[in-house]
Amino acid sequence: MQLPSIILVCSILSSTLIKSMAVDTISMHQTFRDGDTITSAGGEFQLGFFSPGSSTNRYLGIWYKKISRVTVVWVANRDSPLVNTSGFLQISREGIILQAVNSSTGIIWSWSTSKLFKNPVLQLLDTGNLILRDEDRDFKSEEDFIWQSFDHPGDNMLPGMKFGIDLVTGMNRISSSWTSVNDPSRGSFTIGLDTSGFPQILLSKGSVIQARTGRWDGYKFKGIPKRSLNGIFKDEFVFNEKEIYYRFYLVNPTSATMRIILTPTGNVKVLVWNDQQQIWTVYSSLMDNDCDRYGLCGGYGICKIDKTPRCECLRGFVPRSQEKWKAADWSSGCIRKTNLVCGTDEGFVKYSGVKLPDMRSSWYTLKMSLQECEKLCLKNCSCTAYANADARRGGHGCLLWFGELIDISDYAEDGEDIYVRMPSSELVKSRKGKLEFILITAVLLVVLVGLILLSVYKKRKLMKEESLKLDSESVSLTKIENEDLELPLYDFESIAHATSNFSPEKKLGEGGFGPVYKGTLTGGLEIAVKRLSKDSSQGLDEFKNEVSCIAKLQHRNLVTLLGCCTEKGERILIYEYMANKSLDSFIFDSNARNTLDWPKLYNIITGIARGLLYLHQDSKLRIIHRDLKASNILLDHDMNPKISDFGMARSFGGNETESNTSRIVGTYGYMSPEYAIDGQFSVKSDVYSFGVLLIEIITGVKNRLFSHPDHSLNLLGHAWLSYEQDNLLQLIDGVILESNNYSEVFRVIQIGLLCVQHDPEDRPVMSQVVLMLSSNMKLPHPKQPGFFMERYLLRQDQFLSKPNLSSSTQLTITTLLPRQ
| Distance (Å, whole) CA 639 – CA 508 | 17
| Distance (Å, whole) CA 291 – CA 411 | 10
Rounded to two decimals, the pTM is 0.57
Bridge pairing between strands 301-303 and 408-410:
parallel
At CA 199, angle to CA 198 and CA 204, rounded to 5? 120
| Distance (Å, whole) CA 222 – CA 215 | 5
Which residues of the chain, if any, have pLDDT below 70?
1-22, 102-105, 114, 140-141, 223-231, 412-413, 428-437, 460-486, 511-512, 534-541, 545, 620, 652-666, 788-820
| Distance (Å, whole) CA 597 – CA 586 | 11
Q: Which pLDDT score is estimated for 435?
A: 58
| 3-state DSSP assignment of residue 261 | strand
Point out which residues pair with 442 in neighbouring strands. none
| Distance (Å, whole) CA 593 – CA 460 | 51
Point out which residues pair with 576 in neighbouring strands. 527
Residue pair 384/421 in contact (Cβ under 8 Å)? The answer is yes
Q: What element of type H or E holds 17?
A: helix 2-22
CA distance from start to end of the chain: 95
Q: Which pLDDT score is estimated for 786?
A: 83
Residues of the chain by 3-state class (helix, strand, coil), percent to 5: 30, 30, 40
Burial string for 635-670 (b: 16+ CB within 10 Å, else e) reads beeebbbbbbbbbbbbbbeeeeeeeeeeebbbbebb
786, 560, 772, 595: which is closest to 673 by C-alpha?
A: 786
User: How many C-alpha atoms does 245 have within 13 Å on its Cβ side?
Assistant: 21
Number of DSSP helices (H) and strands (E) in the chain, helices first? 18, 44
Active site residues: 627
Cα dihedral value 568, 572, 577, 579, nearest 10: -110
Q: Which pLDDT score is estimated for 473?
A: 44
Phi, psi of 204 (to 5 degrees): -130, 155
| 3-state DSSP assignment of residue 542 | helix
Phi, psi of 54 (to 5 degrees): -90, 5
Q: Which pLDDT score is estimated for 428?
A: 61
| Distance (Å, whole) CA 198 – CA 389 | 8
Residue pair 245/162 in contact (Cβ under 8 Å)? The answer is yes
Residue pair 703/715 in contact (Cβ under 8 Å)? The answer is yes
User: How many C-alpha atoms does 520 have within 13 Å on its Cβ side?
Assistant: 5
Measured CA to CA in angstroms, residue 20 lies from 14, 38, 121, 169 at distances of 10, 8, 13, 35
Point out which residues pair with 100 in neighbouring strands. 87
440-466 confidence digits (pLDDT tens): 777 788 888 888 888 777 776 665 554
Phi, psi of 705 (to 5 degrees): -100, 5
Q: Which pLDDT score is estimated for 817?
A: 33
At CA 38, angle to CA 33 and CA 39, rounded to 5? 160
336, 290, 284: which is closest to 313 by C-alpha?
A: 336
767-778 confidence digits (pLDDT tens): 999 999 988 888
674, 681, 684: which is closest to 660 by C-alpha?
A: 681
| Residue ranges of domains in the chain, CATH in brackets | 21-152 (2.90.10.10), 157-288 (no CATH), 291-422 (no CATH), 432-474 (no CATH), 479-576 (3.30.200.20), 584-815 (1.10.510.10)
